Amino acid sequence: MRAAIIEGKDQLDVVDLPLPVPSEGQVRVRVSAVGICGSDLHYHFEGANGEYVVREPLIPGHELSGWVDEDPSGQLQAGDPVTVHPARFGTPVDGIEDAAHLWPGGSYLGSAATTPHTQGGMSEYLVVERGMIRPLPAGLDVVDAALAEPLGVALHGATRAGDLTGRQVLVSGAGPIGLLALVAAKARGAAHVTVSDVLAGPLARATELGADAVVQVGAEKLPVEAFDVVLECSGAAVAISAAVAAVRRRGILVQVGMVPNEARPINLAPFISKEVTMLGSFRFFEEIDEAIELLAADSGIARIITHRFPIDEVREAFAVARDSERSGKVVVTFPGAQ
């Protein structure tokens, strides 16, 4: 089978690998499409994602969809369209029994956080545990279903914020996760969603997806104390400081965008004086199921996918995905994808 392999900084190739064989309790998926995530970009262009360094060949990709190829148990039929929950959960911890995604010792597809690395889905075939499989409803395009994982991330950020019904929401950062956070906030009942970014291209996509207002930071200023909830999706220190200023007194700021594992300067004075609640948001637990329902109900969400590249053009796919002015979500496709 063909697979994309990252061996270090700027070392991305397509290679032939043996076909994986599923054991009892596992399913082999024939992959249709894989979205390129920010972590994938870091692994390729920097050789590391934060503290996780590529030390051996790594197949990237955790946003994927496809079809069942083989299920030894016979519970799933060959050809059934599916997506995959990319997490294998670790050891339960007292007090967070309902948050398996936070348990230590787990793993995530396409990650160098484990040794050996946890291989991802940017290959023609992938073997996973049956419990990771999510069947797709009729009518949901199998390539569009690759958005289920990142939409699950955005929905989890909304979950962390609490009830958004009637709320004034700011989404900070209009990359793919920010655009999906806009979708999540609308789906959770927000009355008005503003999206901010430094670039015009991502803001144009936010407008197409139904943002009530957009702010191009630099050309405009975010209003102060104007938002009940901020979903901060950029991870940039300057954007986090701006978000703290933009949220209202006793408002909620959810940090959805990942940040480097190092000290960064952030202005926390308004956080203290306004008694702002600041929450972290890490991946998701069960929100992928809600994401599948939303994607099936609204085909317009798939407009977030701006580019599709076949596996043979994976290097160009990564280059385009790196250019956020030019691209939204970029997916790599395999034979059989429409």
**pLDDT for position 23:** 94
pLDDT score of 14 more than 70: yes
2-135+298-333 and 151-280 agree in CATH topology = no
Question: What are the structure tokens assigned to 278, written together?
Answer: 């600041």
pLDDT of residue 261: 78
Q: Of 99 and 318, which is predicted with more confidence?
A: 318
Please tell me whether residue 88 adopts helix, strand or coil conformation: strand
pLDDT at 337: 66
Q: Give the model's pLDDT for residue 124.
A: 97
Q: CA-CA distance, 185 to 164, in Å (whole number)?
A: 7
- Residue 230: half-sphere exposure toward Cβ, Cα within 13 Å: 34
User: How much is the average pLDDT of 241-254?
Assistant: 96
CA 91 to chain centre: 24
Q: Please give the pLDDT value at position 338.
A: 58
If we measure between CA atoms, which residue out of 214, 206, 204, 182 comes closest to residue 294?
A: 182
Query: DSSP string of 2-60?
Result: EEEEEEETTEEEEEE-PPP---TTEEEEEEEEEEPPHHHHHHHHHSEETTEE--S-B--
- Per residue in 150-197, pLDDT (tens digit) is 999 999 999 999 999 999 999 999 999 999 999 999 999 999 999 999
CATH of 151-280, one of 3.40.1710.10, 3.40.605.10, 3.40.50.720, 3.30.70.1560: 3.40.50.720
Predicted pLDDT at 102: 86
pLDDT given at position 55: 96
Helical pair 148-161 and 287-297, crossing angle rounded to 10 deg: 110
What's the mean per-residue pLDDT of the chain?
95
pLDDT digits (tens, 9 = 90+) for 101-113: 989 999 999 999 9
The residue ranges of every structural domain in the chain are 2-135+298-333, 151-280
Percentage of the residues of the chain whose pLDDT score is greater than 70 = 99
Give the confidence band of 289 by pLDDT, cuts at 50, 70, 90.
Answer: very high
Q: What is the mean pLDDT of residues 5-17?
A: 97
- For the cut 70, the answer to whether the pLDDT of residue 301 exceeds it is yes
Out of 3.10.110.10, 3.30.70.1400, 3.40.50.620, 3.90.180.10, the CATH code matching 2-135+298-333 is: 3.90.180.10
pLDDT for 255 equals: 96
Q: What is the tens place of the pLDDT at every residue in 45-79?
A: 999 988 889 999 999 999 999 999 999 999 999 99
**Alpha-carbon gap, residue 177 to 300, rounded angstroms:** 16
